C-alpha cells in the first residue's frame, strides 16, 4: 500500500457490534502516515474504549460535546475544519436518522453539521432496519447532501440473520477513502475559477442597473469544487452569501471589474462562468446624482463578453470552459446558439421564468449541453447545493 501522504481523517465511531472493525480501519490508515482524531459516541463506548483507539491512532479521542478540556484544545468548529475527510464507521440507523434531520445534540452530530468536508458513511445494521422505508428516505437525504456511502454488504450478521446491512470490510473502507484522498491531492494542484452573482452598472453614484441573480448556484459550485480538493477562486458580484474562508473570494461590482479579476486569475484548469453579467453599461456615468426631470436619456454601450473572451483566448484558455444560459424562452435553441457562438465546452441551461427555480431560489433544474459529445443531459429539479455536486461529478469525469 502506498502512503496516504500525511492526510488528516476524523473518525466518528458509533455504537454497534461492528464498531470493533473501526479499529482495523484506523490501524490501516495510521500505518500509512495518516493523522487521525476520533470522536467516540456515548453508545460506542459499550463496544470499544478510548484507550484502544488512542493506542492505535496516537491521536486525541473526543467524546463529550461540553467537555471544557476538549473545547479549550479544539472547539467543534475547528475540529470539523481540521480534517481532510470525515468517516463515520459504523454508521448506525440511529446516526443516519439524526444526521438527516440536522440533529446536533452531541459532539459527533454537531461536528458533522458544521463540516465543509467530504463525509463518508459505512452503514451497519440489521437487514430489516436497512430495508425500512425510513432508513431509505434518510439515506436519500444524506446522499443528496453529498455524503458518500461505503457499502453495506450482503452477508451473515451478528444477530444470526442474513442479508444486506453488514458493514464493509476494513480494507474496502480504507481503499475507498484513500482513493478519494489521493484524488483530492491531485485536484489540489488544479486551479478552478468560478464567477457568480449579478453585476451593477452605475448610472450615477446612487443608481445602477442590475439583475435578479442571487449567486447561489455559483457559490455552491465553488464550494463543491473546493470540497473535492480544487484550488478554487470565486469572483463574485454583489451578494450577501457566505463562503468558506479557505476559498479565495474576490468581490467585484461591475462587469469591467469582473473581467479584470478574471484576467488576473488566469490561467486556470477549469472556469465556470455562472455570473449573470450585464450585457450593457452606461456609456457616460454621471458624476452626481441625477435630479428628477421630465425627460431623461441614458445611452448604453456593450460590455466585453467575459465568457467569450476567455473561451477564445489563445494562450490563457482553461482546459474546460463552462458557461450558463439563463433564459425565459426558447431555452434549448438559445443555449445551443450560445454553446457555438461562445466556443465553450459546456453550456448549462436553466429556465428563469419560474419563481420556484433559477434566480433567487434555493432550487434549480438544468440541462447540460456538451459541445464535443454533441449531447445533452438533464439534471432534475433539486436544491442548488445538490446540483452543484452533480455538476462537479461530471467535471471530474471529463478531466479524468
Q: How far apart are CA 29 and CA 168, in angstroms?
A: 16
Q: Are 364 and 357 in contact (CB under 8 A)?
A: yes
Give the pLDDT band of residue 171 (cuts 50, 70, 90).
Answer: very high
User: Residue 139's pLDDT is what?
Assistant: 93
Q: Nearest Cα to 30, choosing from 60, 52, 51, 9?
A: 9
Q: How far apart are CA 21 and CA 90, in angstroms?
A: 8
Please write the tens of the pLDDT for every residue from 13-34.
Answer: 999 889 999 999 999 999 988 9
Looking at 54-63, 168-177, 289-298, which range is the least confident one? 289-298
Report the chain's C-alpha Rg in angstroms.
24
Cα dihedral sign for 338, 342, 343, 347?
A: negative
pLDDT band at residue 372 using 50, 70 and 90 as cut-offs: confident
Evaluate if residue 74 carries a pLDDT over 80.
no
For range 332-349, the mean pLDDT: 95
Task: Supply the pLDDT for residue 334.
Answer: 94
Going by pLDDT thresholds of 50, 70 and 90, the confidence category of residue 2 is very low
Residue 70 is predicted with a pLDDT of: 55
C-alpha cell recorded at residue 35: 493523522
Q: Is the pLDDT of residue 72 over 60?
A: no
Per-residue b or e along 19-44, where b marks 16 or more CB atoms closer than 10 Å to that residue's CB: bebbbebbbbbbebebbbbbbbbeeb
- Over residues 164-182, the mean pLDDT reads 91
Grid coordinates belonging to 248: 479565495
Q: Does pLDDT of 346 surpass 80?
A: yes
pLDDT at 3: 47
- Residue 383 in this model has a pLDDT that exceeds 60: yes
Which tops the pLDDT comparison, 25 or 358?
25
**Average pLDDT score over residue span 231-239:** 96
Which residues form the catalytic set?
Answer: 159
Residue with cell 479524468: 400
Question: Higher model confidence: residue 66 or residue 212?
Answer: 212
C-alpha cell at 55: 493506542
For 311-331, the pLDDT digits (tens) are: 999 889 999 999 999 999 999
Per the CB < 8 A criterion, the answer to whether 111 and 76 are in contact is yes
pLDDT band at 293; cut points 50, 70, 90:
confident
188-212 burial by CB neighbour count: b if 16+ within 10 A, else e? eebbbbbbbbbbbbbbeeeebbbbe
- CA dist 4 → 33, 72, 188, 245 (Å): 6, 29, 15, 25
**Domains (ranges, CATH) in the chain?**
8-186 (3.40.50.1950), 188-399 (3.40.50.10300)
Tell me if residue 364 falls in helix, strand or coil. Answer: strand
Residues shown for the chain = 400
Residues 86-144 pLDDT 10s: 999 999 999 999 999 998 888 899 899 888 888 999 999 999 999 999 999 999 899 88
Amino acid at each position: 500500500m502506498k502512503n496516504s501522504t500525511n492526510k488528516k481523517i476524523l473518525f466518528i465511531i458509533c455504537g454497534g457490534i461492528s464498531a470493533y472493525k473501526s479499529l482495523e480501519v484506523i490501524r490501516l490508515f495510521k500505518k500509512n502516515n495518516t493523522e487521525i482524531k476520533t470522536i467516540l459516541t456515548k453508545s460506542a463506548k459499550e463496544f470499544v474504549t478510548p484507550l484502544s483507539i488512542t493506542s492505535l491512532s496516537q491521536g486525541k479521542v473526543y467524546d463529550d460535546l461540553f467537555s471544557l478540556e476538549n473545547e479549550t484544545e479544539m472547539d467543534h468548529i475547528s475540529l470539523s475544519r481540521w480534517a481532510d475527510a470525515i468517516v463515520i464507521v459504523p454508521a448506525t440507523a440511529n446516526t443516519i436518522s439524526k444526521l438527516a434531520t440536522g440533529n446536533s445534540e452531541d459532539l459527533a452530530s454537531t461536528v458533522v453539521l458544521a463540516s465543509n468536508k467530504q463525509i463518508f458513511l459505512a452503514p451497519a445494521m440489521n437487514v430489516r432496519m436497512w430495508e425500512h422505508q425510513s432508513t431509505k428516505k434518510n439515506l436519500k437525504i444524506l446522499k443528496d447532501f453529498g455524503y458518500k456511502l461505503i457499502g453495506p454488504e450482503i452477508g451473515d450478521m451478528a444477530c444470526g440473520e442474513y442479508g444486506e446491512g453488514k458493514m464493509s470490510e476494513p480494507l474496502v473502507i480504507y481503499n475507498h477513502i484513500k482513493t478519494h484522498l489521493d484524488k483530492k491531492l491531485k485536484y489540489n494542484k488544479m486551479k478552478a475559477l468560478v464567477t457568480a452573482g449579478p453585476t451593477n452598472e452605475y448610472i450615477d453614484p446612487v443608481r445602477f442597473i442590475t439583475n435578479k441573480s442571487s449567486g447561489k448556484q455559483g457559490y455552491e459550485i465553488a464550494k463543491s469544487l473546493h470540497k473535492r480538493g480544487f484550488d478554487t477562486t470565486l469572483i463574485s458580484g454583489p451578494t450577501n452569501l457566505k463562503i468558506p474562508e479557505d476559498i479565495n473570494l474576490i468581490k467585484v461590482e461591475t462587469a469591467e471589474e469582473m473581467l479584470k479579476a478574471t484576467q488576473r486569475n488566469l490561467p486556470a484548469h477549469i472556469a465556470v462562468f455562472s455570473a449573470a453579467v450585464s450585457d450593457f453599461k452606461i456609456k457616460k456615468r454621471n458624476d452626481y446624482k441625477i435630479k428628477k426631470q421630465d425627460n431623461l436619456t441614458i445611452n448604453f454601450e456593450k460590455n466585453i463578453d467575459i465568457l467569450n473572451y476567455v473561451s477564445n483566448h489563445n494562450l490563457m484558455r482553461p482546459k474546460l470552459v463552462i458557461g450558463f444560459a439563463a433564459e425565459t424562452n426558447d431555452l434549448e435553441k438559445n443555449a445551443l446558439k450560445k454553446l457555438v457562438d461562445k466556443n465553450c465546452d459546456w453550456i448549462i441551461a436553466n429556465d428563469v421564468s419560474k419563481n420556484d427555480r433559477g434566480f433567487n431560489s434555493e432550487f434549480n433544474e438544468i440541462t447540460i449541453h456538451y459541445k464535443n459529445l454533441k449531447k445533452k443531459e438533464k439534471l432534475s429539479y433539486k436544491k442548488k447545493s445538490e446540483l452543484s455536486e452533480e455538476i462537479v461529478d461530471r467535471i471530474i469525469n471529463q478531466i479524468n
